[in-house]
Structure 1
Amino acid sequence: MRLFAHRDYRRLFGAQVIALFGTGLTTVALGLLAYDLAGPRAGMVLGTALTIKMVMYVVIAPLAAAYVDRLPRRTLLVLLDVVRGAVVLALPLITEVWHVYLLIGLLQAASAAFTPTFQAVIPDIVTDESDYTRALSASQVASTMESLLSPVLAAVALTFMTFDRLFLGTSAGFLISALLVLLTRVPDARPSAHTKAWDKATAGIRTFLRTPRLRGVMALNLVVAAAGSIVVVNTVNYVRDRLGGSQSDVAWMLAASGTGTLVAALALPRVLDRVAARTVMMTGAGVLVGGTTGAVALVAAGLTTWIGTAVVWTVIGIGMALVITPTGKVLRTSVGRNAIPEAFAAQFSLSHLAWLVTYPVAGWLGTSGGFTLTWSVLAVLAAAGTIGALLLWPRHDEGAAGTTPPPLVRHTPRTDRATLSKAA
């Protein structure tokens, strides 16, 4: 593939993949650490930790996107990887719950700054239009693959080691990522079309608010977060306390959801060539509503079985892939090329804003109110997000199916402005 023949992109992409899997394995290990520290209250601890993560992503990511062109990007990326490696290395040494919150805040602040910086580097390294599109797709596929393969890798690793050893492995991964970035030639940032930091930080969000199909994507983010929170936050307590499973069983149940995502993700490229992105994503939202409803039915009827849980978790994984995978295509066909990084940064923040709503519900309400009440609330949120998406994203505005609509956001390049100035 021509894209991966590009040495600098290959190294940078490798750094992203390693860092992504480091973050994914850390999330699995964090759930087990929370159970080790808090037992039945693990869901609340994990929910709080993940809420801190979302706060950092929502606040830090837009700021990083706004100021990234003013900083030495290679040095920044290396520094962020080193910070994440040091924090993960310290996690198995902690003895108090508040230590978890402090270190997770530092870890996720670094991760929130890494992603928009990485996205801003891609167009400066990959200058060909078609290769740039493939690079964005590869980045999105890597993020999807991390979410589904990390639990599998964790499950395999936990058959040979305790969860605290996972932290050591992920710390080494972040350092390898830093080394790959250090070996990459990262050019100086191009000046943004926006001169004010606030304009740059909010440009993508403003585009979302004024574009019907992107408003629909915002609503679908809530559907994904509502269903995904059941899997991410509540699996550890549900498997350990309701099903009587082990640490490895927790990872394998998470892998069931990942398997559903993998199957759907592999089938979607051909489907999206024939079916509109809106249709696929709305179908995914319906699947997620069905999955959350199925989870409620399981606990309400007392059907705490391994097979039933695995089926529901797999359905949720399929629904998440149906919504998430076409999102990048919708973004790319909704804005001009030079506004694509802003759109992706906005989606990064807005999607995590939805998780910021659902993580506390899954964690805090799950601990105090039980699974039936908690999953019922999340099912209602998933249904509300689906209805909102149907209303906000008109059927005639399919977005990314067959034809490409004209870009909705165009920024005049700096060279063009200079030419006009001379002409005047």
Structure 2
Amino acid sequence: MTARAVTGRDFRLFWFGETTSLLGSGIAVVALPLVAVVALHADTFVVGLLTSVAWLPWLILGLPAGAWVDRLPRRPVMLVCDAVSFVAYVSVPVAAWAGALTIPHLLLAAFAGGCAKVFFTTAYRAYLPTLLTDKELLAGNARLQGSESTAEVIGPGLAGMLVQAFGAVAGLVADALSFVVSWICLRAIRTVEPPPAALRRRRLRTEVGDGLRFLFRDPILRTLAVFSAVSNLALTGLSSIEVVFLVRTVGAGEAIVGVVLTLCGLGGVLGVLVSHRIAHRFGTARAALLCQLGAAPFTLLFPLTGPGAGLAYFVIGGVGLGTGVVAASIITDTFRQRYCPPELIGRISASAAVISFGAIAVGGLLGGALGEVFGVRETLWMMSGLQVLSTAILLFGGMRKMRDFPESPRVAAAAVS
């Protein structure tokens, strides 16, 4: 069966399920550290460790996950992942209501949810071209990224209100239920997924190596992967301690933290709205470069944040950063989906994700450790400076010579030579 349009029933189901799941995740991003800070009185290092543990599975499972996803139908993989995520996150409020919640339990739930996310994200990126044609991928990615950005706007505010009204673990109940909605929507999709490519099965190590070789031999994919790693290290170092910073250093209450992070999320919505326009105006490669270059300096506003009106620094920084990063992400994700061979896309995506998301695990740990040793505000200065410096990777990686991303690896080699 051919791919369905962005207005078709199956894509709408996929979109709605993902939007609900992303909203739950947007709530959990704030609710999980608030549980640690408010209910369990965790220190800065533990809060950073919580972020690190959630992304650690990318370093452990990311590469084999790509090979496994290329061997299997993608939708059943995502259904199993939704079920595992539900069990992991619903266990936290159940333990809390039983009076048995501990820091190790919270860390274990974050790790289990992270393992499911590895497989879901890898399968999701490979599955989307089943529902959409090449020409519709940019619009489809924009809609999905729009949902993610909207979730980032609404989620933190909801988390703050839920925690304020019903207690610290209430946000995780909402997150767990969002995976149920995602599972139901995926189950209802009718489009028949083409079977995995009938390739001779080789050793897992060999198949993983195919994805890594393609990634590192390609000049554009390599540049994007290295930049993403350094950028994610910096941005996660910032985000892993932002709740601690706002609550303990700035003195904001839980509800105010939710409002501030909600306003920051508006940047992602703006990024979705402008991505298509700037890609056509400047070209896809040039637009992605300009977005990242413009976004990075906004991180320097975060450490300037103070109480009262001083919270405006955090909001402006979040809006500016989110606009550029989200717009660039939509453009580069669409490029990868069009550019990578279908039989390798799972392994290539997983290889890039291990580098990119693995850095998130390190960034969370680094943010917590530096915050404990040098202070939270000082760590924000370090991480924001690293984000600004990371843009040099894009500038010297060959993208500045291009207007548009190429359609094939041969064109890419010619463009950067």
TM range (shorter): 0.7 to 0.9
- CA change 1:5–1:292 in 2 (3 A) is closer
| CA RMSD in angstroms, aligned pairs only | 3.2
Tell me, yes or no, if structure 1 residue 46 matches structure 2 residue 47: yes
Greater CA drift, 163-172 or 219-228: 219-228
User: Alignment length, in residue pairs?
Assistant: 403
Contact preservation (8 Å) 1:216, 1:390: no
Shift of 1:149: 3.7
Give the C-alpha shift of residue 198 in structure 1.
Answer: 3.0
Aligned match for 1:103, one of 100, 109, 114: 109
Q: Deviation per CA, 1:348-390, whole angstroms, max 9, x where unpaired?
A: 3332123223222212211221024312321342233212221
Q: CA deviation at 1:272?
A: 1.0
Cα 1:288–1:38 shift into 2, 3 Å = farther
Instruction: Decide whether aligned partners of structure 1 residues 120 and 260 sit closer, same or farther in structure 2, where only a CA change above 3 A counts.
Output: closer
Cα distance, 1:156 vs structure 2 = 5.1
Query: What is residue 28 of structure 1 aligned with on the other side?
Result: 30
Matches within 5 A, 1:4-403: 4-39=6-41, 41=43, 43-71=44-72, 73-92=74-93, 93=96, 94-123=100-129, 125-126=130-131, 128-131=133-136, 134-155=139-160, 157-158=162-163, 160-185=165-190, 187=193, 189-191=195-197, 193=199, 195-196=201-202, 197-222=204-229, 224-229=231-236, 231-298=238-305, 305-332=310-337, 334-400=339-405
Per mean C-alpha deviation after superposition, the further-off stretch among 140-149 and 255-264 is 140-149
The answer to whether the 8 Å contact 1:335/1:408 transfers is no
Contact kept in structure 2, 1:265 and 1:322, CA below 8 Å: yes
Instruction: Please state how far the C-alpha of 1:405 moved relative to its aligned partner.
Output: 4.0
TM-score calculated relative to the size of structure 1: 0.82
Q: 2: CA distance between counterparts of 1:156 and 1:372?
A: 26
Question: Residues of 2 paired with 1:213 and 1:26: CA distance?
Answer: 34
- Give the distance between the partners of 2:359 and 2:224, measured in 1 at CA: 11
3-state SS of 2:169 partner: helix
Distance in 1 (alpha carbons) for counterparts of 2:280 and 2:395: 22
Q: Which amino acid aligns with 2:50?
A: A
* Cα deviation, residue 70, structure 1: 4.4
Amino acid at match of 1:391: F
CA contact (8 A) 1:22 1:171 kept: yes
TM score, norm. by length of structure 2 = 0.84
- Counterpart amino acid of residue 172 in structure 2: F
- Cα distance in 2 for partners of 1:192, 1:25 equals 41
How many Å separate the matches in 2 of 1:399 and 1:206? 24
- Pairwise CA distance, 1:233: 1.5
Q: 1:191 is paired with a residue of what secondary structure?
A: coil
CA spacing shift, 1:74–1:339, aligned 2, 3 Å: closer
Give the drift of 1:48. 0.8
Q: Deviations 1:22-62 (Å, cap 9, x if unpaired)?
A: 22222211011111245461x32221121112221233233
Contact 1:56/1:108 (8 A) holds in 2: yes
Displacement after TM superposition at 1:163 (Å)? 3.5
TM-superposed CA distance for 1:239, in Å, is 1.5
For 2:181, the aligned partner's letter is I
